[in-house]
Structure 1
Amino acid sequence: MLLLNQLPDFRQPLHPVDAQTLGSAGADAIERHLAGRAEHMPTPLRALPSLARELGIGALHLKDEGQRLGLGSFKALGGAFAVTRLVLEAASERLGRTLDEADLTSPEVRAIASEMTFACATDGNHGRSVAQGAQLVGARSVIFMHGGVSEPRATAIARFGAEIVRVPGTYDDSIVEAARVANEKGWTTVSDTSWDGYERIPGLVMQGYTAIIREALRQLPEPPTHVFVQAGVGGIAAAIAAQLALEFGEKRPVFTVVDPARAACLFESVRAGRPTKIAHGAPTVMAMLECYDPSPLAWRVLSRTADAFMTVADEVAVEAMNRLARPTGSDPAVVAGESGAAGFAGLLAALRDPQARAALKLDGSSRVFAVITEGATDPERYAELVGLTPAEVAGKA
């Protein structure tokens, strides 16, 4: 299903705070952070000309975040960046002088960081980033996970020294519990979703994601005409949409937000005309996107900058994984996890629906950009869905 944005604030200017956080100054800040990370390299942009011809579009480029900072997901950018900013702010206040990224390794800053505990809820990827950030600066992390998160994902987080706390219920339940315990114990909550009175830290997390589109615009041969980005609570979609709106203004590409059909909180919010929490239903295969309550901060951005909102069925997401694993012509193979392929799956669904294709003005000249937000962060599940191991697919890249 597809809905065009007809909200009252569509194409209105971004809120000044969002423009500051997610604009060029924000993107510059995450680039400075990444420059200090020894393991950082820009993630690859995959050109798929053969698949583009097969689909009847002019060009298809995918930003492969499965390569990001050794964590296999775009979320490596957000949580760790927020943790380092918060440590630097706390240390600047304690030491009475302005500090920057180069000071993170100093003994006095690390001594202050060692007294700090960062908590968050996660479906897997955000928790890894927060835990990695805490380990980088010498802080403690406590990660809250609901029962649907697989043990391999929990183990991947624990490797960074994080304490894992299991919470009954859904991702939304784990968010509430993480915030409750952190408030009770005086810890700092680093959430990738916002709520009333809590926006600045999720804003820092989203700021980290602006690196994706900043890099992509340097790598692309031409700016895209169409962009498809998947959404859980909406953070990555909002970060990319904001950058594109500020960079290109009225000439920005057509931006489509893609929700899992079984967890379509942003889609239903557009239908309702306001941020809307939806009922928990059957699990979706796109587990990293299984969110039922949109981030108000992301909504504030997307209501202004997204042109359309759509849903994709689980079977289309699995098809997208398989099509990328078995390339057409001389195209490279791409390892895309079940949530990572969702933006591309949105393109497949839109192209098959004549009304959606017309509404989005997709045709033979369209230059489409999408983000593979994660690789095979659960290798066993990936092999089950694709019939090939991640290593076998990567060998064909």
Structure 2
Amino acid sequence: MPHPQTASLPRLLSNPRADHARPYGPSERAILSRAAFEEAMAEIGAWPGYAPTPLRSLPGLAREAGIDRLWYKDESARFAMGSFKALGGAYAVLRLLAREVTARVPGVPVTALDLVVGRHAKVTRPITVTTATDGNHGRSVAWGAQVFGCGCVIYVPAACSDGRRRAIESYGAHVVVVEGLYDDAVRRAAEDAAENGWFVVSDTSYTGYMDIPRDVMQGYTVMVEEAISQLPASERPTHVFIQGGVGALPAAVCAHLWESWGRQRPRLVVVEPQSADCLYQSCAAGRPARAGGDLDTVMAGLACGETSLLAWAILERGADDFMTIPDEVAVRTMRRLAEGAHGGRPIVAGESGVAGLAALLCAAGHEETRLGLGLAPDARVLVFGTEGATDPAIYEALVGRSPDAVLSGADPVSATGR
């Protein structure tokens, strides 16, 4: 745990194994590739309700940070779930069910529409998918199970909020509360799946479990390609700040930018809460490692103690820096977006979804960190706002206004602390 005197300061660790000259080769493409992205894009792009989420310019916060440009990929309206996770878990459920139908009915092509209309219900209905989650991933898996026609059991740690549990249950999933942390829920889900013959659909990978997490990560690259296509034609980011978790999201961002832009890709900074820093610790150790803290963080979606093996295989040489931030920085950033301090209409962003932006603003305010990251006045930064108010009650408690009040422009109340 950080010393009390340093708990409010960011920690920065430059990756000694980062190699911008290294080509994106066969070992990386075996995990994530543009070819597999094309499959994911063709599939997800055909889902009802699909539309690219907006890439917003934040000139006010760019000036505050002392940089040239700041872009924010706003995932708060992704499908019906308000999170980028909709691209991963549901896509992996679809791929799993399609494989199972093909294995049991050889020679029959399987489309998403076939599954949606129940054409293969005799095969899919007896199937149960399961996962552990702090909220958003489980909601995506439950949504995918409902849409594509199979059963679903979701395991959540005890700290998962009632609002997020209810959101998962609204898609017909059975929710099991595990006394313990996220990693305890991961182990319980795997144990129960083995006993009951269920299929685990997780975004974290471990020995003997690799294929489905690969599909989850590949779904995330749809968001990255959208952002690439939305950038001004003559401008590319010099830096990307992206939140960590088990590593699936930063690995997807890293891989897609690495393969797309090669050595011209931006500097990738992976951001974690100070108490849930498994990727930071992995960089320090030079191998997948556990978090050094107790995982007690307001950024609940990032409260992960163990590193995904597949993700680390990408990040080990593809990520440039690892950074941890205190909780208060994330909450302050949520409030700044809600106030419209960025120079535009208010943005509703969840506590885990603002971590990358919060890290940028935190780094800009600490000269040593700013210099360490090369945040010069001509820097152009891309961040991913990966969720909206996925639990409105928690959002209101942190920001001081409900999401609806923020979007309607209602005056802040004293709870914002201003």
Give the TM-score, by structure 2 length.
0.91
CA displacement, residues 60-105 of structure 1 (integer Å, 9 cap, x when unaligned) = 1101111111111111111100000011111112221243334323
**Equivalence for 2:26:** 16
Match of 2:143 among 129, 132, 139: 132
Matched, 1:290 2:303: yes
Tell me if the contact between 1:26 and 1:210 (Cα under 8 Å) persists in the aligned partners. Answer: no
> What is the distance in 1 between the residues matched to 2:120 and 2:31?
25
Cross-structure match for 2:173:
162
User: What's the counterpart of residue 257 of structure 1?
Assistant: 270
Identity among equivalent positions (%) equals 46
Aligned equivalents of 1:14, 1:129: Cα separation in 2: 30
Shift of residue 50 of structure 1? 2.3
Which of 47, 57, 65 is equivalent to 2:57?
47
Runs of 5+ in structure 2 lacking a partner? 1-10, 411-418
Bigger proportion of residues as helix:
1
In structure 2, the CA distance between the partners of 1:24 and 1:336, relative to structure 1 (3 Å rule), is same
Q: Distance in 1 between matches of 2:304 and 2:312?
A: 14
Q: Does 1:238 align with 2:251?
A: yes
Maintained 8 Å contact 1:227/1:369: yes
The offset of 1:282, in angstroms, is 5.8
User: Is 2:95 the counterpart of 1:85?
Assistant: yes
Displacement of 1:28 in angstroms is 1.2
Separation in structure 1 between the aligned mates of residue 248 and residue 170 of structure 2, nearest angstrom: 25
Structure 1, 323-332 or 33-42: larger mean CA deviation:
323-332
Check conservation: 1:10, 1:303, Cα contact below 8 A.
Answer: no
User: 3-state SS of the aligned residue for 1:61?
Assistant: strand
Change (3 A) 1:395 1:26: farther
Which structure 2 residues correspond to residues 12-161 of structure 1 after superposition, within 5 A? 12-14=22-24, 16=26, 18-97=28-107, 98-105=109-116, 107-161=118-172
* Cα distance change on mapping 1:30 and 1:396 into 2, 3 Å: farther
Of residues 380-389 and 157-166 in structure 1, the stretch that sits farther from structure 2 once superposed is: 380-389
Shift in alpha-carbon separation, 1:11–1:304, aligned structure 2, 3 A? farther
How many Å separate the matches in 1 of 2:25 and 2:204?
A: 17
1:328 to 322, 341, 353: 341
Count of aligned pairs between the two proteins: 397
* 1:5 and 2:15 are equivalent in the alignment: yes
**Contact 2:65/2:360 (<8 A) preserved:** no
- Other-structure match for 2:380: 367
Alpha-carbon deviation of 1:107?
A: 4.0
- 1:15, CA displacement in angstroms? 6.1
Normalising to structure 1: TM-score of the pair? Answer: 0.96
Name the amino acid aligned to 2:384.
V
Aligned-residue CA RMSD (Å): 1.7
Q: Select the residue among 225, 231, 241 that pairs with 1:214.
A: 225
1:109 Cα deviation from its structure 2 partner: 2.0
How far did 1:13 drift? 4.3
For the 8 Å contact 1:207–1:239, the answer to whether it is kept is yes
1:280-325 CA deviation, whole Å, 9 max, x = no partner? 5161110110011111111111112111000001111111111111
- Counterpart of 2:327 in structure 1 is 314
Cα distance between partner residues in 1 of 2:384 and 2:121: 35
